[in-house]
Amino acid sequence: MDNSASVLMYGADWCGDCRRSERFLDSNNVEYTYVDVEADKSAADKVVEINGGMQSIPVIVFSDGTHLTEPSDNDLKAKLEALKIL
| Domains of the chain with CATH codes | 7-82 (3.40.30.10)
Q: Is 1 helix (H, G, I), strand (E, B) or coil?
A: coil
pLDDT for the residue numbered 6: 83
Q: How far is CA 17 from CA 2, 3, 26, 64, in A?
A: 26, 23, 14, 23
- Give the pLDDT confidence of 18-67 residue by residue, as tens digits: 999 999 999 999 999 999 999 999 999 999 999 999 999 999 999 999 99
H or E, element range at 68: strand 67-69
- Give the pLDDT confidence of 64-86 residue by residue, as tens digits: 999 999 999 999 999 999 999 99
pLDDT for the residue numbered 73: 98
